[in-house]
Chains A and B, each alone.
Chain A
Amino acid sequence: MPVLEVDALAKRFGGLEAVAELSFDVREGEIFAIIGPNGAGKTTTLNLLSGLLRPSAGRIRLNGREIQTLPSFERTHLGLGRAFQVVQPFPEMTVRENVQVGALFGSPGTSRAEGERRTDAALERTGLTALAGQPAEELTLLQEKRLEIARALATQPTVLMLDEVMAGLRPAEARQAVELVRDVGQSGVTVVFIEHVMPVVRDLADRVLVMDHGRFLAEGSYAGVTADLAVIEAYLGTPDEAGEEEEAP
């Protein structure tokens, strides 16, 4: 049963078709990867899903309910969580306060006690408990990424969207991040993630969607998709992918 259904989604910026005729389903409980070269429209797709952008055409359903016209906060209230690629903590707040925002406002009618409990749980889960009192602006990149995930988890999502959480991490750090995502997936949260680091995709994803030039290119298991000639073609000319095999966690 799909939790997230994307149907003929499109986004035009002037003459540029950033996303076009994009359709895919994400099933309940799976870890779903979106890959593709730079400029393929992956982040635009996440922005359309989380409501930062309004689609030019198409439908998005979350648990059967159409959400493409809803503002971001309502999508969050309905269980769609999001961690950003460019980490954007609230710098004036402590780590704990950052997570509290998601915990208190992620689902309407959360009591303060319940908010505190969710905050503690999200900090614990992401290994940030010891840093709770630290100002968010003093974190390292890995800690910031953990904070991104903690905040999103605190909103109690049924579907969690992660945008390149591994980018910029050292191999050892990336391994920790993979464990964290896997752990989140095992707790029953459906995960949709964008990733450039192919070994990460191989290790984590139940299914993979390949995008190119804003369009659907292929979908299936990691092995099936990478065997697809078209994918290899899409990746030609992106030499930075070559070295990343060694970063296998």
Chain B
Amino acid sequence: MKLLRDALPVGLFALALWLLPDLLRGTAGRASVSYLSLVTNGLGLAVLALSWDVLARTGQLSLAHAAFYGTGAYVTTIVARHLELPLWVGIPAAGIVAVLLALGLGAVTLRLRGIYFAIATLAFSEVLKAFFRQLPTAFAGGSAGMNVAPLFRPVFEPETMERWEIAFFRNEAYYLLYAGLLLLTIGISLWTRRSRLRPAFTAVRTNEQVAAVMGVRPARTKLLAFALSSLSVGMLGAIHAHRVGSVVPEGAFAVATTVFALVTPIFGGLYTTLGPILGAGLLSAIEEALKRNLSDGYLIGYGLVLVLSILFMPRGIVGTVRNAARRRRTTRETAPAEGNRS
């Protein structure tokens, strides 16, 4: 029943994603190649942010997102190089390996909380980076990294298309893959919000001991969140590696990946499905606008936007809007709002 409530907005969002490439091509022509690439980056950020948020809903503020992202990139590259399998196999494989790693990390960090959990997950990410760098160069490229075969090679057909359209079709294919991954992540996120996982996640986040006395299994709940969260990130890292064509330890396990994964939901609104997506869209747009106007200094502007937004909207965009709406509602009802509002 409640799923119907989500079907409409998600369906419209999916339709918009589907129509966007042709719309861009129709209006922007050749420039649509780079526009599409920018939108794809935004979708990637949304996947990163939303999957991080799913884990955060159980109170686990992880700094290990880069670990799953980087592992995904390496898994698909190694599968492509060393196994005689279709290229696409590497992507679900990356997701599965990321889930297994997450379960391992989650099991070890179950008893850690707050800053200790954060530090442990950050260390995990750094250890994995070192691990992949130290693997035999012939196997995993060492510190120089490896080239990664592209997933899509559009063929130029002189009669039906112009030359720039090769790039367009390639970008469009990656764009659709990213969009599909985002829809999968939205599905996961909505599942945790609409099923009995929602009270379990919130209970474990606010008071693990009390949650257990209410019958919730904290360890199982936290591990499930870890697995759900890492699945999307692992696949994102894999697709991204194919898209950019190379993988190096410093890039695959960049701390920046983790930072963006957590800053975006905080900016957009924690513990919601809309917040991280909205945050990713706005932050991508702001970043691009700043880059065009400030060139190299854009990071200063970007940092300023984040600091100000966290100072003045500590609950993120969605939280701020929701609070404002609630305040308006309570002031309009002159009688005390004691009634049954459910």
Convert A94-138 into 0s and 1s, putting 1 for each residue whose CB lies closer than 8 angstroms to a CB of B.
Answer: 101100111011111000100100000000000001111110000
Convert A26-69 into 0s and 1s, putting 1 for each residue whose CB lies closer than 8 angstroms to a CB of B.
Answer: 00000000000000000000000011100000000000000000
Q: Tell me the smallest distance from the CB of A80 to a CB of chain B, in Å.
A: 9
A residues less than 8 Å from B212 (CB atoms): 51, 71-73, 76
B340 partner, pick from A71, A97, A130, beta carbons under 8 A: A130
Q: A101–B216 contact, CB under 8 A? A: yes
B84 CB-CB contact with A under 8 Å: no
A residues less than 8 Å from B340 (CB atoms): 129-130, 132-133
Q: B214–A102 contact, CB under 8 A? A: yes
A72 and B165 CA atoms in complex are apart in Å by 61
Q: If A72-B209, A88-B207, A104-B199 touch, does A131 touch B338 (CB 8 Å cutoff)?
A: yes
Q: Tell me the smallest distance from the CB of B333 to a CB of chain A, in Å.
A: 13
A115 and B209 CA atoms in complex are apart in Å by 21
A residues less than 8 Å from B210 (CB atoms): 84, 88, 90
A82 CB-CB contact with B under 8 Å: yes
A100 and B342 CA atoms in complex are apart in Å by 13
Q: B196–A115 contact, CB under 8 A? A: yes
Q: Tell me the smallest distance from the CB of A113 to a CB of chain B, in Å.
A: 11
B136 CB-CB contact with A under 8 Å: no
B residues less than 8 Å from A155 (CB atoms): 214-215
Q: B342–A73 contact, CB under 8 A? A: no
B300 CB-CB contact with A under 8 Å: no
Convert B194-208 into 0s and 1s, putting 1 for each residue whose CB lies closer than 8 angstroms to a CB of A.
Answer: 001001101100110
Q: A133–B341 contact, CB under 8 A? A: yes
Q: A90–B207 contact, CB under 8 A? A: yes
Q: A50–B213 contact, CB under 8 A? A: yes
Q: B211–A101 contact, CB under 8 A? A: yes
Q: A76–B215 contact, CB under 8 A? A: yes
B residues less than 8 Å from A77 (CB atoms): 215
| Tally of contact residues, A, Cβ under 8 A | 36
Q: B213–A97 contact, CB under 8 A? A: no
Q: B338–A134 contact, CB under 8 A? A: yes
| Tally of contact residues, B, Cβ under 8 A | 22
How many contacts A-B (CB < 8 Å)?
84
Closest to A94 in B: B342
B26 CB-CB contact with A under 8 Å: no
Q: A105–B207 contact, CB under 8 A? A: no
B:284-342 near A, CB below 8 Å: 338-342
A91 and B209 CA atoms in complex are apart in Å by 15
Closest to B207 in A: A88
A178 CB-CB contact with B under 8 Å: no
A133 and B216 CA atoms in complex are apart in Å by 22
Q: A91–B206 contact, CB under 8 A? A: yes
A51 and B216 CA atoms in complex are apart in Å by 13
Q: A100–B199 contact, CB under 8 A? A: yes
Q: A76–B214 contact, CB under 8 A? A: yes
A151 CB-CB contact with B under 8 Å: yes
A217 and B214 CA atoms in complex are apart in Å by 31
Q: A76–B338 contact, CB under 8 A? A: no
Q: Which of A105, A130, A155 has the most CB of B within 10 A?
A: A105
Q: A105–B213 contact, CB under 8 A? A: no
Q: Tell me the smallest distance from the CB of B330 to a CB of chain A, in Å.
A: 11
A112 and B1 CA atoms in complex are apart in Å by 12
Q: B342–A132 contact, CB under 8 A? A: yes
A residues less than 8 Å from B196 (CB atoms): 104-105, 112, 115
B217 CB-CB contact with A under 8 Å: yes
Q: A101–B199 contact, CB under 8 A? A: yes
B residues less than 8 Å from A92 (CB atoms): 202, 206
Q: Tell me the smallest distance from the CB of B213 to a CB of chain A, in Å.
A: 5
Q: A52–B214 contact, CB under 8 A? A: no
A218 CB-CB contact with B under 8 Å: no
A231 CB-CB contact with B under 8 Å: no
Closest to A130 in B: B340
Q: B215–A52 contact, CB under 8 A? A: no
A96 and B340 CA atoms in complex are apart in Å by 10
Q: If A88-B210, A96-B342, A101-B211 touch, does A73 touch B217 (CB 8 Å cutoff)?
A: yes
Binding site for B on A (CB under 8 A): 50-52, 71-73, 76-77, 82, 84, 88, 90-94, 96-97, 100-102, 104-108, 112, 115, 129-134, 151, 155
Top 10 A-B pairs ranked by shortest CB distance?
A133-B341, A105-B215, A72-B212, A76-B215, A133-B342, A106-B215, A102-B214, A90-B206, A105-B216, A101-B199
14 A–B contacts, CB within 8 A, in A order: A73-B213, A73-B218, A84-B213, A88-B207, A92-B206, A97-B199, A104-B200, A105-B214, A106-B214, A106-B215, A112-B196, A131-B338, A134-B341, A155-B214
